[in-house]
């Protein structure tokens, strides 16, 4: 039953399809015939004739003439000139600049945001480090007591005072040494006595101070240069004086006896010059207090001492302390 029903259904569908095919072909044929019929051709010809009629051509010509007329061209030129005028160009430039400024502003905002972000990150890192350092300092400060801080401050103050004192002491010593060197060299030469030619007034080892002057008197103790050495003797005769000595050691200057309380024993000593002896101009006759052993102006090997060779006049004894004071 089922097979027969299916076969009948297939036959019906085949017939319906053939019938629909014939119907569509007949409709196509009818439409083509209608299009080629006289009424259709007449309608087409009407619309063609209307399009080619004088009225339609006149209307077309009118609108063409209107488009090419002087007023319309003038209106066109007016709008073109308005479009090219400075106000319109200014307005256009304004809107263009506004658009560019907005674009630049947006770009600047973007760049600023890109720059600010690393700076903010760096600031955050610095803040974190500062917080950590503060925490460490707080931890250390909790461990350090007030007494320890005060002790450290006292120690720093002491070291500062010690450095200042040491620095000032060194500076003072340097200045004192420099001044002493200048004074000792230029104004007050300091000398140490060697030998026994000036005993008992000056003995070996004594330290004396001399002063430079231009005038020297009888009895002054002077130091002078002789053979790259400095000798110390006493002034007996001044320039152009006549000096005499006898066998007993008595001294006469310009025919007058010279009192000498500073010597312990009189003697002629080593003398190879002839008396009376005239002292040359600009020179001094000098003899040591220890007349027996002193080699001085009585010997021709030493002779009289010129003013230029004199170092200075000894005025003060510094050492030993028992002799501290003026030297005469």
Q: If you average pLDDT over every residue of the chain, what do you get?
A: 75
- Supply the pLDDT for residue 56: 45
User: What superfamily would CATH give domain 192-326?
Assistant: Umud Fragment, subunit A (2.10.109.10)
Using one digit for the tens of pLDDT, what is the confidence trace for 7-26? 766 776 777 777 767 767 76
Rounded distance, CA 107 to CA 209, Å? 93
pLDDT cut 90: percent of the chain above it? 24
Residues 258-264 have a mean pLDDT of: 89
* pLDDT(176) > 80: yes
Higher-confidence residue of 102 and 299: namely 299
- Supply the pLDDT for residue 75: 47
Name the phi and psi angles at 186, rounded to 5.
-100, -40
- Supply the pLDDT for residue 98: 42
CA 204: distance to chain centroid? 60
Domain positions in the chain are: 136-187, 192-326
Q: How far apart are the first and last CA of the chain?
A: 180
Confidence of residue 153 (pLDDT cuts 50, 70, 90): confident
pLDDT cut 70: percent of the chain above it? 59
Higher-confidence residue of 191 and 57: namely 191
Higher-confidence residue of 90 and 210: namely 210
């Amino acid at each position: 039953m089922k097979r027969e029903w299916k076969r009948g259904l297939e036959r019906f569908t085949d017939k319906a399809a053939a019938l629909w095919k014939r119907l569509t072909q007949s409709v196509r044929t009818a439409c083509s015939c209608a299009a080629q019929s006289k009424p259709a051709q007449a309608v087409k010809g009407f619309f063609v004739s209307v399009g080619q009629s004088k009225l339609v051509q006149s209307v077309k010509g009118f609108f063409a003439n209107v488009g090419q007329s002087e007023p319309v061209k003038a209106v066109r030129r007016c709008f073109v000139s308005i479009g090219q005028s400075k106000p319109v160009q200014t307005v256009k430039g304004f809107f263009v600049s506004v658009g560019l400024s907005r674009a630049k502003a947006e770009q600047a905002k973007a760049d600023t945001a890109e720059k600010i972000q690393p700076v903010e990150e760096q600031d955050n890192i610095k803040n974190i480090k500062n917080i950590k350092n503060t925490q460490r300092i707080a931890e250390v400060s909790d461990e350090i007591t007030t007494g320890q801080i005060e002790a450290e401050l006292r120690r720093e103050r002491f070291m500062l005072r010690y450095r200042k004192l040491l620095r000032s002491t060194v500076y003072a010593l340097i200045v004192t040494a420099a001044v002493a060197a200048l004074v000792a060299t230029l104004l007050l030469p300091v000398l140490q006595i060697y030998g026994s030619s000036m005993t008992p007034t000056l003995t070996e080892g004594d330290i004396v101070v001399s002063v430079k002057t231009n005038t020297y008197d009888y009895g002054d103790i002077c130091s002078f240069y002789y053979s790259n050495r400095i000798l110390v003797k006493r002034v007996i005769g001044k320039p152009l004086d006549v000096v005499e000595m006898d066998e007993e050691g008595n001294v006469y200057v310009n025919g007058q006896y010279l009192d000498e309380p500073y010597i312990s024993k009189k003697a002629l000593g080593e003398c190879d010059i002839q008396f009376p002896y005239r002292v040359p101009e600009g020179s001094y006759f000098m003899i040591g207090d220890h007349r027996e052993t002193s080699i001085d102006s009585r010997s021709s090997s030493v002779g009289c001492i010129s003013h230029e060779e004199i170092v200075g006049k000894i005025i003060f004894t510094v050492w030993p302390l028992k002799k501290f004071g003026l030297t005469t």
